[in-house]
Amino acid sequence: MNFMEIANARQSCRSYDPDRPVEREKIEAIMEAGRLAPSACNGQPYHITVCTGETAKAVAKHTMDPVFKINKFAMDVPVMIVISDKPYVKTAAYGSQTKGINYRSIDMGILASYLTAEAAVQGLGSCILGWIDSDPIREICHLDGPVQLVISLGYPGPKDKPRDKVRKDMADLVTYL
Ligand SMILES: Cc1cc2nc3c(=O)[nH]c(=O)nc-3n(C[C@H](O)[C@H](O)[C@H](O)COP(=O)(O)O)c2cc1C
């Protein structure tokens, strides 16, 4: 797949096959893609925790809101990828403070892009989850830094059909000066 094919194929998957585990080699390929992601000063100020089995279910509970029906699909997700803070390297810390820019969030966004893109290449579904209870997930995963994002990963279920992309018009998105 070339880049545009991957960008078109990747979509947020909200229906998973709960009975089909993800092969270890596929998870490792996705982690290798994440390892190659760029970051400010090459500092990679994050940690990735791959949760399966009961741990994935425990994490899932803290990504859902039954009242507002948010992330209901999470209970069926076989793999939960938890992304948490690690300290900046010195130069990134200095840059972030001096310029007032949260490089860590940017770095994590790029990381999430790489992980979900490779998931699509591997024929897997994924969804970036920002609706999370950071503290309990941090406890479940025994992490030293706060949790910022969770990514669900697994084989898509029958309800996950390819969708047309809904995006801003190019004219709203891009200005050429
Ligand atoms: C930072 C971030 C947080 C998100 N949080 C959630 C979430 O909690 N639940 C969910 O179903 N989708 C979540 N999404 C997925 C977006 O809704 C989705 O990427 C967007 O609607 C575009 O659709 P697509 O991914 O299918 O192309 C999140 C995406 C990002 C980048």
pLDDT digits (tens, 9 = 90+) for 151-174: 999 999 999 999 999 999 999 999
Indicate the pLDDT class of residue 7, thresholds 50, 70 and 90.
very high
Q: Is residue 124 within 8 Å of residue 26, measured between CB atoms?
A: yes
Task: Report the Cα 147 to chain-centroid distance in Å.
Answer: 12
Neighbours of 116 (CB within 10 A): 26
Q: Whose CA is nearest to atom 18 of ligand 1?
A: 12
What's residue 75's pLDDT?
Answer: 97
Every domain of the chain and the residues it spans:
3-173
What is the pairing mode between strands 79-85 and 147-154?
A: antiparallel
Q: Tell me: the pLDDT tens digits for 65-101?
A: 989 999 999 999 999 999 999 999 999 999 999 999 9
Assess whether the C-beta atom of 129 lies below 6 angstroms from ligand 1.
Answer: yes
Domain 3-173 has CATH 3.40.50.150: no
User: What does the pLDDT look like over 116-162, one tens digit per residue?
Assistant: 999 999 999 999 999 999 999 999 999 999 999 999 999 999 999 99
- Signed CA dihedral, 50, 56, 61, 65: sign only: positive
Give, in degrees to the nearest 5, the angle at Cα 153 between 27 and 104: 85
**Cβ(116) – ligand 1 distance below 6 Å:** no
CA of 64 to the centre of ligand 1 (A): 14
Cross-strand bridge partners of residue 176: none
Q: Is 71 in the pocket of ligand 1 (CB under 6 A)?
A: yes
Residue in 112, 121, 122, 110 with CA at minimum distance from that of residue 152: 112
- What is the residue with the minimal CA distance to atom 1 of ligand 1? 130
Q: How far apart are CA 168 and CA 59, in angstroms?
A: 33
The predicted-structure confidence for 56-70, as pLDDT tens digits, reads as follows: 999 999 999 989 999
Pick left, alpha or beta for residue 121 (phi over 0 → left; psi -120 to 50 → alpha; otherwise beta). alpha
